[in-house]
């Protein structure tokens, strides 16, 4: 393993359940999800913090985050809403020094509070969850090819 686990995932030398990738970002399930379907949008180019992030890569992260939010609503996970969260720095709960965007599915009445959720994180059948998200992406692509 290298110095950055996300760089290792991007390079394919560390395991991850990938749900999407293009030339700029890789999207995979968080290994300690706050909610089922919690994914991370990670730029391929290493940038520890927002100040280091190429603006084009940042724009791509949010564009794909929005796309994933739309795909999640079309998946069988069927969330009622989505949080897009970027933690910048240790004081903001950034635990991996590689800028990344959290896409967190939410359901009405789920009683999830982000501060509590950051403490109680556990996987929810990650293989099936990744497959559901990929199916939502396929449905979105069929509906609205871009």
**How far is 28 from 15, CA to CA, in rounded Å?**
10
User: Which listed residue (38, 98, 100, 102) is catalytic?
Assistant: 100
The residue written with tokens 């991850």 in the block is 16
**Axis-axis angle for helices 126-143, 55-74 (nearest 10):** 100
Both tokens of 91, joined, read 């004081």
Q: How far is CA 131 from CA 17, 123, 126, 137, in A?
A: 9, 14, 9, 10
Catalytic: 67?
no
**How far is 71 from 142, CA to CA, in rounded Å?**
11
Active site residues: 100
């Amino acid at each position: 393993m290298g110095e950055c686990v996300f760089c290792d995932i991007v390079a394919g030398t560390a395991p991850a359940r990938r749900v999407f990738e293009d030339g700029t970002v890789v999207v995979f399930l968080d290994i300690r999800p706050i909610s089922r379907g919690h994914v991370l949008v990670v730029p391929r180019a290493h940038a520890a913090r927002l100040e280091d992030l190429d603006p084009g890569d940042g724009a791509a992260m949010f564009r794909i985050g929005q796309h994933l939010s739309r795909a999640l609503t079309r998946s069988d996970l069927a969330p009622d809403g989505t949080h897009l969260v970027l933690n910048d720095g240790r004081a903001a709960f950034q635990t991996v020094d590689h800028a990344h965007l959290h896409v967190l599915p939410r359901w009405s009445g789920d009683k999830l509070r982000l501060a509590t959720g950051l403490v109680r994180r556990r996987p929810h059948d990650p293989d099936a969850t990744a497959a559901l998200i990929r199916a939502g992406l396929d449905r979105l692509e069929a509906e609205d090819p871009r």
